[in-house]
């Protein structure tokens, strides 16, 4: 009698559990994924240890200037995902001088940057199929202005950060 109830339980629940696991794997791989922000490079927009949702449907996503994106940086031996703001699209010319970001020769208003940049960079043109990223905490962010190769190939983009889950007092969309 006991083996009959185990068989009945397995017959009823194993397919549902297997389907749920498969669905979770597909969603996590191709649709969206939660991640913990590992550094303070995006302060004050995103805090260290914030939990965010990354939308991973790249073919359906239009990446635009100012988006917050998760990607694999072009750094030898790196195993960490980075979270930064998209500053340069393919074909853009980026320059930083006198504490101001210039994109295609125009000064950019960046209300999300707390402190003026204390360095100069560029001008540099973003090649086709590549993107240029900087942290919002510009003077304390290991980002494209410091990397040996400042561009992230499109294939290394994971997705767009779209929602903050934690801490609960900051629950909501990310801008």
Among 56, 84, 141, 160, the one annotated catalytic:
84
Buried b (16+ CB within 10 A) or exposed e, 31-66: ebbebebebbbbbebbeeebbbbbbbeeeeeebeee
Given 3, 16, 41, 49, the catalytic residue = 41
Active site includes 84? yes
Active site residue 41: yes
Which residues form the catalytic set? 41, 84
């Amino acid at each position: 009698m006991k083996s009959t109830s185990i068989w009945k339980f397995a017959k009823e629940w194993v397919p549902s559990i297997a389907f749920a696991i498969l669905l979770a794997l597909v969603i996590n791989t191709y649709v969206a994924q939660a991640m913990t922000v590992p550094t303070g490079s995006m302060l004050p927009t995103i805090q260290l240890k914030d939990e965010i949702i990354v939308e991973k449907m790249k073919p359906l996503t239009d990446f635009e200037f100012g988006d917050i994106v998760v990607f694999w940086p072009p750094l030898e031996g790196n195993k960490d995902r980075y979270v930064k703001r998209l500053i340069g699209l393919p074909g853009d010319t980026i320059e930083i001088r006198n504490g101001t970001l210039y994109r295609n020769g125009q000064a950019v208003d960046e209300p999300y940057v707390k402190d003026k940049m204390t360095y100069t960079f560029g001008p540099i043109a973003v090649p086709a199929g590549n993107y240029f990223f900087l942290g919002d905490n510009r003077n304390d962010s290991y980002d494209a202005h410091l990397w040996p190769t400042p561009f992230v190939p499109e294939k290394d983009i994971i997705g767009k950060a779209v929602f903050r889950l934690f801490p609960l007092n900051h629950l909501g969309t990310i801008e």
